[in-house]
Structure 1
Amino acid sequence: MKFNGPSKPGGSGPRGRRSRGRLIGQFLGGIVVSALVVLCIFEAWFRAHSTRVVAARASGPFIASDPDLLIRYTSKGRRLVPGAHVRILKHQLSGLDIDMQINSLGFRARELASRKSPEEFRVLVLGDSITWGDYLPADEVYVNRAERLLNPSPDGRRVELINAGVGDIGTREEVDILEESGLATQPDLVVVAFYLNDSRPPWGFAGELGRPGWLRRHSALAAELYRSRRLQRWIKEQGEPRWGWVSARDRIPWQKDPAALEQLAWLARFDWGAAWQPESWATVDKELARLRKLAGRHSFGVLVVAFPVRFQVEPDFVDDRPQKALAERARANGFGFLDLLPLLRSHRNEPIYFDHCHPLSAANGWIGEALAGYIRSEYLTPGGKPGGKP
């Protein structure tokens, strides 16, 4: 008679344990592979949609992204890296890939001869991110558009406009840049492109990110996660008063009610609303006086150009108190003055801005025409201001 031995279910012996181990290994391996696939999908998405600064000639799937290729931080604020040549991929405002070339003086301009020719008229344009125009190709920024319109000039000189704009700076930093490197261009005319928050210190968030390590330079996902976390912490540290206007702009009727615009300007007093606060003008007065002394010492003229905020351009009424305050100060210092608010209000039924202050390409064209017209009539037409001096 034959007896069957004890049954051996699959999980009781060494073979069953090995089988379970393989299943667990396959399961864990599947999780790892799935996680890697998800990370790769996110990485691909962020590479396609996030703003990155890369070396101009870099290529391949793992291009290092590093803002320090373009921006350096000094004891006096942000500066562009002299000689930098980078690409800004998917700029956060325009979505464009921008070729960015910086000359040896740290300006978004071509190289200049060290000695100015008598047949040249040089215009140095100081300003912030609106003037730098890092979100547009150089030829579409108002500085370059004005230069094209001014050549040939009425008096026969070749007109050179030099873009000395840098993002996140104010009037004090602009005059610092003039002293540090702008005077080396031997300008006949210095244009101060004034925006309404120029009395305020730099925004400062970009400096909070520090120098990126290998992972943030090579992974768009890691860079964006780090940036988002730091931004949330920084906004919390800065406090609600600095950012209250951002949510309020969608709640209060600033387009129809002057009192509502006044309220919005108060909420934005740490940004563009500073120009409505009388105490903010002390900083501007100090820097314009400093600029006047430099103009006298180095024999150049000064033209102040007033850039408005969207909340002045679109309403059914005109609130130009900041422009009037600036015009009075320009006249007191012997400077020329160009107010862009009437021009942009004449186009207020058309798209003008990427956000609340950075003009679209078409608006840069209108601004370039206005600037060229003013310079031509006031500084280049026979009988105008001699030598570019106001």
Structure 2
Amino acid sequence: MLTRTFLIKMTVLCLVISMCLIVSEVFVRIVIDDGMEYNLEMWKYARKLKRVAKHSDQGHQHIPDKSAFLMGVNVKINSQGYRNKEISITPSQGVTRIMMLGDSLTFGWGVPSGETVSSRLENLLNNSRKDKSFEVINTGIGNTNTEMQVASFLDKGVLFSPDIVVLNYFINDAEPIPRPTKNIFMKHSAAYVFISLRWGSFKRLFFGGEQWFQYYNDLYNNENEGWIRAKDAISKLSKYSHSKGIKLIIVNYPELHQLTPYPFDQVTIKLKNVADEHGVQFVDLLP
């Protein structure tokens, strides 16, 4: 009798839990998801436009010829896996080819393709220099670090014979390579993604924990593996560029939460020192 009662209670409990999960999933997908919720849009981006790369040091890559509507704009990946117009392997005669390496900032998260950094730079250069022509290729992939970007360039980007390579650097580029999650809920549940990430922010706000500025500064401890690997990647990129006569530029993008006083001056100095060590031009965009 106890066994039968227990089974009935467990069945009811499972049904209640299942209904709660279903309702929360429907609520998040229909009510919360307005197409501009950052974490949900990044989750869709990973599901719809990315795949695991063949080489582990590249982490993930875009799926060629895929498109999606993300963060309020249409995103189209070309046949070469870039958010860019189709590109010929051989540059046109007389055209200076610039290749942009980077993460979601370079990719152009939340802006139309014509408003990405690469598109704006190409228009600016061609409108200001009537004696020269420029082609700027956007190879940015969201949620990548410097190690992944350099590995992808040395594997595929080099085939396009750029004259100039710009490594667009952001402070989180010293993070470790993100690996595919084994969490089935994180893969398939919008509600789980939304609630788990919001819960993490809630805990940091009300229960302490490492703050964002401390987290970023800690990435640049000399013993941090991510920073060590980022420096090694810059060294590899520099050696290749010098050997092929390619001009390499490192452009440092500021973290915009707080510009004055800027809490990451020491990070900028460390990055500039790496650039100087390898004879690479360094551009800091901090106003």
Deviation of 1:122 (Å): 0.9
Q: Match for residue 59 of structure 2?
A: 77
1: CA distance between counterparts of 2:221 and 2:144?
Answer: 19
Do the aligned residues in 1 keep the contact of 2:217 with 2:264 (CA within 8 Å)? no
The structure 2 residue matched to 1:108, chosen from 83, 108, 123, is 83
Q: Match for residue 68 of structure 2?
A: 86
Do the aligned residues in 1 keep the contact of 2:65 with 2:81 (CA within 8 Å)? yes
Stretches of structure 2 that go unaligned for 5 or more consecutive residues are: 1-21, 202-207
Deviation of 1:79 (Å): 0.9
Q: Which has the larger radius of gyration?
A: 1
Do the aligned residues in 2 keep the contact of 1:305 with 1:339 (CA within 8 Å)? yes
Deviation of 1:120 (Å): 1.0
The structure 1 residue matched to 2:223, chosen from 279, 283, 290, is 279
2: CA distance between counterparts of 1:119 and 1:183?
Answer: 19
The structure 2 residue matched to 1:139, chosen from 92, 108, 114, is 114
Please give the root-mean-square deviation of Cα atoms over the aligned residues, in Å: 3.6
Do the aligned residues in 2 keep the contact of 1:306 with 1:340 (CA within 8 Å)? yes
Per-residue deviation, residues 235-256 of structure 1 (Å, max 9, x unmatched): 9xxxxxx96215xxxxxxxxxx
1: CA distance between counterparts of 2:170 and 2:25?
Answer: 41
Bigger drift between 225-234 and 194-203 goes to 225-234
Is 1:323 the counterpart of 2:268 in the alignment? yes
The structure 2 residue matched to 1:225, chosen from 191, 204, 212, is 191
Per-residue deviation, residues 165-199 of structure 1 (Å, max 9, x unmatched): 11111111011110122112211111001111212
Per-residue deviation, residues 8-45 of structure 1 (Å, max 9, x unmatched): xxxxxxxxxxxxxxxxxxxxxxxxxxxx9999776532
Do the aligned residues in 2 keep the contact of 1:197 with 1:273 (CA within 8 Å)? no
2: CA distance between counterparts of 1:327 and 1:81?
Answer: 34
Per-residue deviation, residues 39-78 of structure 1 (Å, max 9, x unmatched): 977653245356567xxxxxxxxxxx78433011223312
Deviation of 1:228 (Å): 3.7
Q: Residues 326 and 185 of structure 1: is their aligned pair in 2 closer, same or farther, counting only changes over 3 Å?
A: same
Q: Residues 37 and 299 of structure 1: is their aligned pair in 2 closer, same or farther, counting only changes over 3 Å?
A: closer
Q: TM-score, normalising length from structure 1? A: 0.56
Q: Residues 327 and 42 of structure 1: is their aligned pair in 2 closer, same or farther, counting only changes over 3 Å?
A: closer
Deviation of 1:234 (Å): 8.9
Amino acid aligned to 2:100: V
Q: Match for residue 45 of structure 1?
A: 31
Do the aligned residues in 2 keep the contact of 1:188 with 1:300 (CA within 8 Å)? yes
The structure 1 residue matched to 2:149, chosen from 174, 191, 195, is 174
Amino acid aligned to 1:286: D
1: CA distance between counterparts of 2:87 and 2:111?
Answer: 22
Q: Match for residue 236 of structure 2?
A: 290
Amino acid aligned to 1:80: H
2: CA distance between counterparts of 1:340 and 1:306?
Answer: 6
Stretches of structure 1 that go unaligned for 5 or more consecutive residues are: 1-35, 54-64, 92-96, 217-222, 236-241, 247-264, 344-390
Amino acid aligned to 2:169: F
Q: Residues 325 and 226 of structure 1: is their aligned pair in 2 closer, same or farther, counting only changes over 3 Å?
A: closer
2: CA distance between counterparts of 1:77 and 1:140?
Answer: 26
Do the aligned residues in 1 keep the contact of 2:28 with 2:190 (CA within 8 Å)? no
SS of structure 2 residue aligned to 1:162: strand
For residues 347-358 of structure 1, the aligned pairs below 5 Å read none
SS of structure 2 residue aligned to 1:160: strand
Q: Match for residue 384 of structure 1?
A: none
Per-residue deviation, residues 266-309 of structure 1 (Å, max 9, x unmatched): x31xxx22454233443232112111222133331100001121
The structure 2 residue matched to 1:305, chosen from 234, 247, 251, is 251
2: CA distance between counterparts of 1:207 and 1:330?
Answer: 34
SS of structure 1 residue aligned to 2:153: helix
Q: Percent identity?
A: 24
2: CA distance between counterparts of 1:73 and 1:314?
Answer: 39
Do the aligned residues in 2 keep the contact of 1:123 with 1:159 (CA within 8 Å)? yes
Aligned length: 254
1: CA distance between counterparts of 2:48 and 2:27?
Answer: 27
Do the aligned residues in 2 keep the contact of 1:199 with 1:274 (CA within 8 Å)? no
Q: Residues 154 and 47 of structure 1: is their aligned pair in 2 closer, same or farther, counting only changes over 3 Å?
A: closer
Deviation of 1:336 (Å): 1.1
Do the aligned residues in 1 keep the contact of 2:170 with 2:252 (CA within 8 Å)? yes
SS of structure 1 residue aligned to 2:93: coil
Q: Residues 40 and 292 of structure 1: is their aligned pair in 2 closer, same or farther, counting only changes over 3 Å?
A: closer
1: CA distance between counterparts of 2:25 and 2:247?
Answer: 56
Do the aligned residues in 2 keep the contact of 1:102 with 1:109 (CA within 8 Å)? yes
